[in-house]
Amino acid sequence: MSANQTIAPKIVVVGAGAFGTALAAVAAAKANADVTLLSRREEVAAECRLTGRNEKALPGIALPARLAFSADAAALAGADIVLFAMPSQEHRSAAQTYGAAIGADAMIVTCAKGMEQSTGRLLTELLADELPGHRIGVLSGPGFAADIAKGLPTAMVVAAPDMAVATQLAEALSGPTFRLYPSTDRIGVQLGGALKNVLAIACGIVEGAGLGDSARAALISRGLAEMSRFIAARSGEADTVRGLSGLGDLVLTATSHQSRNLRFGIALGENGRADGSGGELVEGAFAASVAARVAQDLGIEMPVTEAVAAIIDGRLDVRTALEQLMSRPITQE
Ligand SMILES: NC(=O)C1=CN([C@@H]2O[C@H](COP(=O)(O)OP(=O)(O)OC[C@H]3O[C@@H](n4cnc5c(N)ncnc54)[C@H](OP(=O)(O)O)[C@@H]3O)[C@@H](O)[C@H]2O)C=CC1
Ligand SMILES: O=C(CO)COP(=O)(O)O
C-alpha cells in the first residue's frame, strides 16, 4: 500500500470464520470496494458464492454482493492490505502457507487476540519472523463479529508503527457503522485483546460459581491493573489500556454472554473443571498459561491470570483460588 493511495485498496481477508467474514463484509459494503474473503476450504467459498451467506460463521446474515470469495491463495496477488483473521495459534502456519502469495508491498494486519502459546511471541512479532520486510499492523478492540456484520455501531483500534499507515488502514476498513481509531501502540493494542480474554474467563468463573456482581467489578478493576503491568513490562504504552482495546474490550467480554471466553468461564465456575469448549474457539484458554509464564519471566504479579491458568490446567479449584486471591497481603491499590 503506497503512502498516498487514493483509489480503493485491494483487501484480502484470510480466514473465513466469524470475525474474518464480518470484517470482509463491512469493508466490502463501501462503494468501489475490492475485497475478497479467502477461506482455506473451497466448500466454504463455494457456499458463500452460491448463497451470499457464510451460514456457519454468521448465521442468518446476508453478505454484500460486492464481496468476492475464494479458496485459492492466488487471490492474494496484488493485495494492498491482507487481514489475518484465523485463530492466534494458527498464525504461524497460515503465514507459512500464504506468505509466498503475498506481494512485497502488502500491509499485513493481524485481527486475532492472543499470543503464540509455545513461544510467548506477540502475533505481530510472529508475523515479522515469518514475513520479513512487510509492514505489520494489528486490529483489536470491543466488537462481536455478529454485531459488526449486522451493522450495529462498533468502534475498534488499528495500530501500525507509523501513524500515517495506521490512519490509512483505519480509513480503508472503517464504514458507516464500523469506526476504527488509528494508533501506533501495536504492543498495547494486541496485549489488551489477548489478556482481556483471560479476565473474561475469570469473570465467567465468578458468574458460574455464583460469587456475585461485586466480585465481577473487583475482577475487572484488578484485571485491568494486571493488563497495565504486563503492557508496561512489554514496552507498550500505559494509556492504551484505558482505551477501546483495553478497558473497552475487557468490559464487553467480561459482561456479555455473546463472549465465548465468558461462557467457557461460566461452565468452569458451574462444574468446577474445564470440560472443553464444545468446539468453540476460546482464545483465553490458550493465553492464560502463556501470559502467566511470561509474567513470571518478566517478574510481574498477575494473580488473577495465574489463577485462571491453574484452574484450566486442573491444578487449582475455584474455592481455593478465591481463598488465595482474598488472602493476598494487603497492598495499596
Ligand atoms: N468472533 C468475534 O466476535 C471476534 C473474534 N476476534 C478474534 O478473531 C480470531 C478468529 O476468531 P473467529 O473468527 O471468531 O473464529 P472462528 O472459529 O469463527 O473462525 C476461525 C476461522 O479461521 C480459519 N482457520 C483456522 N486455521 C487457519 C489457517 N491455518 N489458515 C486459514 N484459515 C484458518 C477456520 O477455518 P476452518 O473453518 O477451515 O477451520 C475458520 O474459518 C480470534 O483470535 C478471535 O479472538 C476478534 C474480535 C471479535
Ligand atoms: O473479542 C471479542 C469481542 O471483542 C470476542 O470475544 P469472544 O472470543 O470471547 O467471543
pLDDT tens for residues 145-154?
999 999 999 9
Give the residues of the chain that fall short of pLDDT 50: 3-4
Q: Determine whether the annotation assigns residue 222 to a binding site.
A: no
Query: What's the confidence (pLDDT) of residue 1?
Result: 54
| Alpha carbon distance 280, 258 (integer Å) | 12
Q: How far is the CA of 86 from the centre of ligand 1 (A)?
A: 4
* One-letter amino acid for residue 12 of the chain: V
**DSSP characters for 29-86?**
TSTT-EEEEE-SSHHHHHHHHHHSB-TTTSTT-BPPTT-EEE--GGGGTT-SEEEE-S
Answer whether 159's CB lies under 8 Å from 182's CB.
yes
Grid coordinates representing 64 are: 454484500
Q: Structure pTM? A: 0.96
Compute how many other C-beta atoms are within 10 angstroms of the C-beta atom of residue 80: 21
Question: What's the chain's length in residues?
Answer: 333
Q: How far is the CA of 57 from the centre of ligand 2 (A)?
A: 14
| Alpha carbon distance 278, 292 (integer Å) | 24
For residue 259, what are the contacts with CB-CB under 8 A and spacing of at least 6? 144, 200, 204, 252, 253
Mark whether 196 is an active-site residue. yes
Asked if residue 84 has its Cβ within 6 Å of ligand 1, the reply is: no
Closest ligand 1 atom to residue 86 Cα is: 22
Asked if residue 57 has its Cβ within 6 Å of ligand 1, the reply is: yes
* Cell 489488551 sits on residue: 192
Nearest residue to 17 via CA among 280, 252, 250, 195: 280
| Alpha carbon distance 180, 171 (integer Å) | 8
Q: Determine whether the annotation assigns residue 183 to a binding site.
A: no
Q: How far is the CA of 305 from the centre of ligand 1 (A)?
A: 23
Query: What's the confidence (pLDDT) of residue 288?
Result: 98
Asked if residue 80 has its Cβ within 6 Å of ligand 2, the reply is: no
Largest Cα span, the chain: 61
Grid coordinates representing 326 are: 482474598
Closest ligand 2 atom to residue 197 Cα is: 9
Which ligand sits nearest to residue 254's alpha carbon? 2
Candidate from 14, 19, 58, 82 with most ligand 1 atoms within 8 A of CB, to mutate: 19
Q: Domains in the chain, start-ordered, CATH in brackets?
A: 10-184 (3.40.50.720), 187-326 (1.10.1040.10)
